[in-house]
Structure 1
Amino acid sequence: MHATREALLHRLSSGDKELSGEELAGSLGISRTAVWKHVHALQAEGLDIRAERGRGYRLYDDVLVASLLAERLAGLRIGSRCMLMPEVDSTNSELMRLATEEGGFAPDGTVLLAERQTRGRGRLQRNWLTTAQHSLAMSVLLRPPLAPTEVAQLPLLTAVAVQQALADLGPLRIKWPNDILCEGRKLAGILTEMRAEPGAVHAVVIGIGINVRAPEGGWPEALGNIAGDLSSVAGREVCRMDVATAVLRRLDALYNEYLAHGFEPIREAWWQAHAACGQSVRVHNGTTYIDGIAEALDTDGALLLRTSGGVQRIIAGDLELREKQ
């Protein structure tokens, strides 16, 4: 995006009142005529910016602004660099390219957001629906001092961060390994990918997809009984910038705690937030179904399932919550 237009959006997104052309011109270092031209250019791109006579300009859309997010995350590890792209195939794929190709210039803590993903994906290579101004698609780059075997702990940590950051909006729970649910509907998912060699991790990209509001016209039929969104849970319109800020701040705090104190505090927090803590579940591992009681999460992030034949360690699969027994 044109730098002046991003700065203009930054100013319009920073408050909940009209800003006069004179105020905007002064803060941006341009003329009032230039402000008018940039506003019209943004309106032509589909943004709902209204001019109220005698009061000024006001933005009514829920837009993402990289510079505003960077300002909100100033001084944190996560958010050391914030980028926004209008459309990508996948924020994970794009950020991994920036991290590993052409010298891998993207620093630790880089955040990439996109308004649209053409090939967004979740766990098990499933598609993830991303629609402009309705969902939040972002990825975080970490270059952690971990062994490759420890990276499996990071998506669990991220699930705790999302659940804790958004807990005030409703009774959010985690479903193993890292889905975020509310009353049985999926609100968010997490996908982690890494580049590593034996004994060394070069880059970890954590993708976070959050349904902030339902798409216009409602969810596709295949998702109608599965998907949910934060605005419906909260009973009010939820701002994507506020969601991104809260999640990334909490992720930064938990990641620093993890580096200092290890996985155990995170594991305990994850288990307390797990929707199936001590409940009857069914896990589909791709070939068979396993029924049992969700008993614990081990230090590697595997689910310990008590079955009729003893305790089984589940490292991958789909978990289905069953009726309490």
Structure 2
Amino acid sequence: MFELERFQAELQTRQWGRSVHYLPRCASTNDIARRDAEVGRPQGHLVLTDDQYEGRGRFRRSWISVPGKGLTFSLLVRSWPADRISLLPLALGIATARCLGAHSCPATLKWPNDVRVRGKKIAGILCETTWHHPDQPATTIAGIGINVNENREEYPVALRSVVTSVRMVLGRPVSREALLARLLLEIESILDTGSNPDWDRLRKDWISFCDHVDAKVQIDNGQERISGYFTGIDGTGSARLQTANGERTVSSGILRVVKRL
């Protein structure tokens, strides 16, 4: 079971994770966090569970977690500018990659929201936003799942070749409490940057972690499959592809690497 007292002793943030709602088991931390937001919980409020049994990812995919082994949580984000909301998952990906790197896991990023180690998925991010007024910050629930102390045999057979965990990378278990405390510190350093974040710096930081820059990729956005060479992201977080017919930007979709240079 997650040890709240140990986590709070490790936590070094000013705000993020100071308000906590822990549940031993729940269907979805994003759903709980949304209800917490409605009753006025603050920016950085954390909803955490040891066992999420209806976790979801992008495009209605399921997020599979092993009870008591990983980190499954949601954060309440209130201050992120509404016109840059598409950059939020990328910013959280940077924070997650930095945190894992600090724990000797050389993490990389796959557009738009997968965190990987040695080509295998180790974490995922799902942001769900409620809009108020275009000139006001939106309210976003950021769900994050990280594979921490799972063993290979605990995953379904179909997933064993494409997922990994911190324990599988390092060969030993790690403290989930310390890992989460460090991640929240990384998130706070990126998200609490005042009213004028350095968007170009954020874009460059994301690209520095991306493991498929210049690779030939295919993106399925639900309407078409777009093939080209991945050249980076623009100021909104959209993928930039050099296709046979010129440059294209793609705002969402599922990316598959076809060929690396």
* TM bin (shorter chain): over 0.9
Q: How far 1:195 moved relative to its partner?
A: 1.3
Q: Does 1:155 align with 2:63?
A: no
Contact 2:80 2:191 in 1 (8 A): no
What pairs with 1:159-178 in structure 2 (closer than 5 Å)? 159-168=93-102, 169-178=104-113
- Distance in 2 between the 1:222 and 1:198 partners? 43
Q: How far 1:64 moved relative to its partner?
A: 1.5
Q: How far 1:296 moved relative to its partner?
A: 1.8
Higher relative contact order (CA 8 A, sep 6+): 2
Q: How far 1:262 moved relative to its partner?
A: 2.9
Contact 1:69 1:82 in 2 (8 A): no
**Higher Rg of the two aligned structures:** 1
- Against the structure 1 CA distance between its residues 231 and 313, is the aligned structure 2 distance closer, same or farther, given a 3 Å change threshold? same
Contact 1:87 1:117 in 2 (8 A): yes
TM-superposition CA deviations, 1:249-296 (whole Å, max 9, x none): 111111123745332211110001001112211112224322111112
Q: Percent identity?
A: 27
Q: Does 1:142 align with 2:77?
A: yes
Instruction: Name the SS of the counterpart of 1:261 in structure 2.
Output: coil
- Against the structure 1 CA distance between its residues 154 and 133, is the aligned structure 2 distance closer, same or farther, given a 3 Å change threshold? same
Unpaired runs of 5+ in structure 2? none
Instruction: Name the SS of the counterpart of 2:50 in structure 1.
Output: strand
1:317 equivalent in structure 2: 253
One-letter identity of the residue aligned with 1:179: D
Aligned-residue Cα RMSD (Å) equals 1.8
- Against the structure 1 CA distance between its residues 236 and 304, is the aligned structure 2 distance closer, same or farther, given a 3 Å change threshold? same
Contact 1:285 1:318 in 2 (8 A): yes
- Against the structure 1 CA distance between its residues 227 and 259, is the aligned structure 2 distance closer, same or farther, given a 3 Å change threshold? farther
Unpaired runs of 5+ in structure 1? 1-62
Superposed structure 1 runs of 4+ greater than 6 Å apart: none
- Against the structure 1 CA distance between its residues 295 and 99, is the aligned structure 2 distance closer, same or farther, given a 3 Å change threshold? same
Q: How far 1:111 moved relative to its partner?
A: 0.9
- Distance in 1 between the 2:184 and 2:106 partners? 20
2:211 equivalent in structure 1: 275
Q: Does 1:65 align with 2:3?
A: yes
1:208 equivalent in structure 2: 144
Contact 1:65 1:84 in 2 (8 A): no
- Distance in 1 between the 2:187 and 2:139 partners? 17
Q: Does 1:131 align with 2:72?
A: no
Q: How far 1:309 moved relative to its partner?
A: 0.5
- Distance in 2 between the 1:251 and 1:213 partners? 22
What pairs with 1:279-298 in structure 2 (closer than 5 Å)? 279-298=215-234
Q: Which moved more, 1:252-261 or 1:124-133?
A: 252-261
TM-superposition CA deviations, 1:21-66 (whole Å, max 9, x none): xxxxxxxxxxxxxxxxxxxxxxxxxxxxxxxxxxxxxxxxxx3123
Q: Does 1:195 align with 2:195?
A: no
| Equivalent of 1:117 in 52, 70, 74 | 52
Instruction: Name the SS of the counterpart of 2:259 in structure 1.
Output: coil
Q: Does 1:99 align with 2:34?
A: no
- Against the structure 1 CA distance between its residues 145 and 226, is the aligned structure 2 distance closer, same or farther, given a 3 Å change threshold? closer
Instruction: Name the SS of the counterpart of 1:64 in structure 2.
Output: coil
| Equivalent of 1:265 in 184, 197, 201 | 201
- Distance in 2 between the 1:75 and 1:230 partners? 23
Instruction: Name the SS of the counterpart of 2:81 in structure 1.
Output: coil
Aligned residue pair count: 259
- Distance in 2 between the 1:189 and 1:309 partners? 32
- Distance in 1 between the 2:194 and 2:91 partners? 8
- Against the structure 1 CA distance between its residues 259 and 274, is the aligned structure 2 distance closer, same or farther, given a 3 Å change threshold? farther
- Distance in 1 between the 2:124 and 2:78 partners? 21
Contact 1:82 1:110 in 2 (8 A): yes
- Distance in 1 between the 2:80 and 2:28 partners? 26
- Against the structure 1 CA distance between its residues 155 and 189, is the aligned structure 2 distance closer, same or farther, given a 3 Å change threshold? same
